[in-house]
Structure 1
Amino acid sequence: MSSLLRRRKALLSIYSRSNGYTNESKPRGLTSAPPIEVGFTESAGRGVFATRRIGAGELIHTDKPILSHPSLSSIDSVCYFCLKNVASNVPFCSDECRQQSKIFYDTEKQADWSHFHEYCRTQGLKYPLLVKRLACTIISGAATPETLDILQPATLSSEMILLVSTSG
């Protein structure tokens, strides 16, 4: 089986496992599997593509996020788990969010992330806090290291291989 096909099957199996809705709890307007699929293109890499015509305003997918993290600008005004607005300097909106976040929150609090934040700032990285959250989720044992496989591009250019091999 080709690497591309294995990745596509892995992505689709992640989707099928991630949707926690029963027929009774499925959001109104979501009638079946979403009309989208993850695919790859030679020019742009991984993307989400429509599998049929999608009408204006049609609900195409809804699910609980696998991972979220507040931005530094909103970290004191939103729930650290679900990102709902909260009173200033209140980290969680509910006991449920506090419990759900224990998986990674305790691990996050054990480390000094200042060097990581500085590195990400100087490198202009777009979503370093999500990467930190994912790493803490894996370190805590709540997710397996294979979870990271979805982040890998289908192929690496020779320039990217050179960059990776010289940056270590």
Structure 2
Amino acid sequence: MTHRAAAAALRRFFRRCSSRAGTAAVSRIDAEVSALDVIVGHTERSGRGVYAGRDFAMGEVVIHRAEPLVAHPTLRNLRTSCYHCLKPLAAVPRESHVPTHGGRAGGGAAGHFCGEPCADAARTSYHDAETAAGDAVAPLVAHCRQHGLKFPLAAARMAFAIAQGNATPRDADALVRVNFPRGVAPGAWLDEHAMISLALARGDAVRGGAFGGRSSEVTAEWYVGVVSRMHLNAFRVEIPPPAVGHRDDDDTAGDAHDCDDHVSCNHHSHRSPAASSFKASLEAALASSETGDAAGTATYLAPSLFNHSCDPNVDVDWVSGDAGMRARTRVDVAKGTELTICYTDGGAPVDARRGALEHAYGFVCRCERCVEEGG
């Protein structure tokens, strides 16, 4: 199945989404939610939703810092963003930069960590397995460059973490996914899984079986589940540029696309409508694919529970300068009110917003703003 066919399949089955949550994944997301002043409940039209557990004043923080389940820089920004936390490398002194396994990241694309803390965190989590795989990762990187993809790279990062014993195959199970009927997974996704499997096998052989057979847990079923969840839940991370620093033009010349444009774009992407809007839907992302604004893609647990509104009461941002996300209210919010974010270009006309949302996520928006503007 081609990427365009996969896009059609995704749209056909979006309405069959369900969380299929595993116990460990539920425990982790429950722990995140329990630390917030919110309540997770069911909505009339959107299934699961997040509600204010108390009154919030305008500008009050709902989530102080959400850490990503997985984050990965775009290939376009691989040499200008930290390979682990996505921080702009221009924001830290050049002498602090640490090259990814000898300056080679992902089988041939040079990358750097912003400093030793991120380098150590990456090695502990996933980077040792990736390093062991060496140039066996190159086919996946080339495939992603050719098709403008990034979710396979994020999934590969999760796979390497599983191989190192620092993640489980069920870590993302609490997130909503597309339920493909048995045997109907996009063929291109199965090809991507095969590339990852070969890289894992190479790494395990290089390490003399040090991964203890955990690579076998990275099944095709796991890969399809993870990528489908990323299509519905991943955020396009837009980090404010540093006040000072240098960015070489040729560092960003490699990739034309900043989203998986042949399938679907990130579920959430956030420049708020109040801040010149933001681009998350497929059409808006394609229109801006040359800008390279996004540092990377990231998937979170608690933030992914927020439903969409074209007139949201919550904005998210990355003011910490890395992939740690903050969420705060745009208006006063009364206790018991559903907390929403915007998935698409909030400044677009109603027909464009509805068309983009239906194309990317399979629903016609019936939020109050859309009903008022378009019936």
TM-score (norm 2): 0.32
Please name the residue that 2:61 is paired with.
59
- Are the counterparts in 2 of residues 35 and 54 from structure 1 also a CA contact under 8 Å? no
Q: Aligned partners of 1:131 and 1:41: how far apart in 2?
A: 32
1:135 deviates by 0.8
Q: Aligned partners of 1:101 and 1:94: how far apart in 2?
A: 11
Alpha-carbon RMSD across the aligned residues, in angstroms, is 3.8
SS of the aligned residue for 1:60 comes to strand
Q: Aligned partners of 1:164 and 1:84: how far apart in 2?
A: 34
SS of the aligned residue for 2:113 comes to coil
1:164 deviates by 2.3
- Are the counterparts in 1 of residues 29 and 174 from structure 2 also a CA contact under 8 Å? no
The verdict on how the C-alpha distance between 1:79 and 1:123 changes in structure 2, with shifts beyond 3 A counting, is: closer
- Are the counterparts in 2 of residues 8 and 38 from structure 1 also a CA contact under 8 Å? no
Q: Aligned partners of 1:38 and 1:122: how far apart in 2?
A: 41
Please name the residue that 2:348 is paired with.
none
Q: Which amino acid aligns with 1:74?
A: N
1:143 deviates by 0.9
Gaps of 5+ in 2: 1-17, 99-111, 191-375
Q: Aligned partners of 1:40 and 1:145: how far apart in 2?
A: 29
Q: Does 1:149 align with 2:152?
A: no
Please name the residue that 1:117 is paired with.
141
Q: Which amino acid aligns with 1:57?
A: G
Query: 1 or 2 for the larger relative contact order (CA 8 Å, sep ≥6)?
Result: 2
- Are the counterparts in 1 of residues 84 and 122 from structure 2 also a CA contact under 8 Å? yes
Aligned-pair identity (%):
26
Gaps of 5+ in 1: 20-31
Please name the residue that 1:77 is paired with.
80
The verdict on how the C-alpha distance between 1:85 and 1:142 changes in structure 2, with shifts beyond 3 A counting, is: same
Q: 1:53-78 deviations in whole A, cap 9, x for unaligned?
A: 76542322122222211111111112
Please name the residue that 2:332 is paired with.
none
> Which has more radius of gyration?
2
Structure (1 or 2) with the greater strand fraction: 2
Q: Aligned partners of 2:80 and 2:172: how far apart in 1?
A: 29
1:51 deviates by 0.8
1:11 deviates by 4.9
Please name the residue that 2:288 is paired with.
none
Q: Which amino acid aligns with 2:71?
A: S
Q: Aligned partners of 1:8 and 1:41: how far apart in 2?
A: 24
SS of the aligned residue for 1:51 comes to strand
Q: Which amino acid aligns with 1:107?
A: A
- The 5-angstrom pairing of residues 12-23 of structure 1 reads 12-17=26-31
Q: Aligned partners of 1:165 and 1:117: how far apart in 2?
A: 19
TM-score (norm 1): 0.63
- Are the counterparts in 2 of residues 37 and 50 from structure 1 also a CA contact under 8 Å? yes
Count of aligned pairs: 147
Please name the residue that 2:129 is paired with.
107
1:104 deviates by 0.9
Q: Aligned partners of 2:139 and 2:44: how far apart in 1?
A: 35
Please name the residue that 1:22 is paired with.
none
Q: Which amino acid aligns with 1:51?
A: Y
